[in-house]
Amino acid sequence: MKSKRTVLVTGCSSGIGLATCHVLSSNDFITYGTVRSLSKANRIQDLIDRENLPLKILHLDVNDNQSIKLAVKRILSATGRLDVLINNAGYGMFGPIEEITTEEVKKQFETNFFGTIRVIKAIVPIMRKQGNGIIVNISSMVGRFGVPLNSAYVSSKFAVEGLSESIAFELGEFGIRVIVIEPGVVKSDFFQNVRVKGTDPESPYHRLMKMRVSFLDKAIKNSKTSSYDVASIILDALNSKDPKFRYVVGNDAGNSIRMRSSLSDRKFMEWIRAGIFQGKGLSK
């Protein structure tokens, strides 16, 4: 009988992380959902209580090496191995680069990029000794192309993409696979935690930011992709005998990435600009 695989998921208090914990623990994965603050673990605890899932909650702050070390130690003490890491912790930031401070950009990278690296560094020695493992990095469709007034977040996801491609080579030599998930706009709690700059009426970017926020609101309203759609793709990838390196989730993501690859740089930028600043949408 095949033994159950142990999974560590970061950023599980809501959204994709919460849905992933629910889906994996419902499908015979021993799942550890981690949160930066245990006071925000109510929704995970409700799932455990309601469905009696093989799901456990741990404190883990991706910006704190000691909390990562302690969480991994607890998992190994309980299961003796770690088969899958899902790097989901992160947050979004919107605003013009002129008005976002360098410190704010650094904080964006500390969580979205360096946080990913910290957890990877903690689990790679374990997977390498096991001779197998899977690392799933949650990126975004904007890890593949730029969009206006979102530069800090987009840059952090570009960095995750470059990191993922690079480590896939070196870790593949030890039986460790790397998978990148690229969702489009997802109906989730993610956007409730987005940090927005440049909305002051005195800002020279005020008009552009109004259009950007309006476009985002419409995209969220019209999105047909849920957190559980992303979680289902992750489950499919983990159960595949030969998983792909990249999984694009959502029609908006698929369409935008196709346009990026088929158009020239200038034409693609015109297409994005027209969709966001001229209200023409990002249709084919």
Instruction: Give 148-189 pLDDT, tens digit per residue.
Output: 999 999 999 999 999 999 999 999 999 999 999 999 999 876
Active-site residue among 139, 151, 164, 223?
139
pLDDT at 35: 97
Q: Which of 142, 156, 189, 139 is nearest to 15 (CA)?
A: 189
- Read off the pLDDT band of 1 (50, 70, 90): very low
Does 262 participate in catalysis according to the annotation? no
Active-site residue among 32, 157, 197, 247?
157
**Per residue in 8-17, pLDDT tens?**
999 999 999 9
pLDDT at 45: 94
Cβ-count burial 249-279 (b if 16+ within 10 Å, e if not): bbebbebbbebbeeeeeeebeebbeebbeee
pTM of the entire structure?
0.94
Give yes or no for residue 280 having a pLDDT over 70.
Answer: no
CA atoms within 13 A on the CB side of 93: 26
Contact call for residues 59 and 34 (beta carbons, < 8 A): yes
Give yes or no for residue 235 having a pLDDT over 80.
Answer: yes
Give yes or no for residue 194 having a pLDDT over 80.
Answer: no
pLDDT at 187: 85
**Per residue in 103-149, pLDDT tens?**
999 999 999 999 999 999 999 999 999 999 999 999 999 999 999 99
DSSP-based three-state secondary structure for 3: coil
Q: In angstroms, how far is the first alpha carbon of the chain from the final one?
A: 49
Question: What share of the chain has pLDDT > 90, as a percent?
Answer: 88
* Mean pLDDT computed over 238-251: 97
Active-site residue among 14, 32, 140, 153?
153
Active-site residue among 13, 25, 151, 155?
13
Does 13 participate in catalysis according to the annotation? yes
Does 156 participate in catalysis according to the annotation? no
Question: What structural domains does the chain harbor?
Answer: 6-200+225-253 (3.40.50.720)
* Mean pLDDT computed over 257-280: 93
Distance, in Å, from the CA atom of 269 to the CA atom of 265, rounded to the nearest integer, reads 6
**Selected residue with higher pLDDT from 199 and 29:** 29
* Mean pLDDT computed over 69-96: 96
User: Which of 89-93, 188-192, 193-197 has the lowest average pLDDT?
Assistant: 188-192
- Average model confidence (pLDDT) for the chain? 94
**Per residue in 18-68, pLDDT tens?**
999 999 999 999 999 999 999 989 999 999 999 999 899 999 999 999 999
Provide the token pair at 232.
Answer: 């289902």
pLDDT at 260: 97
Give yes or no for residue 191 having a pLDDT over 70.
Answer: no
Does 284 participate in catalysis according to the annotation? no
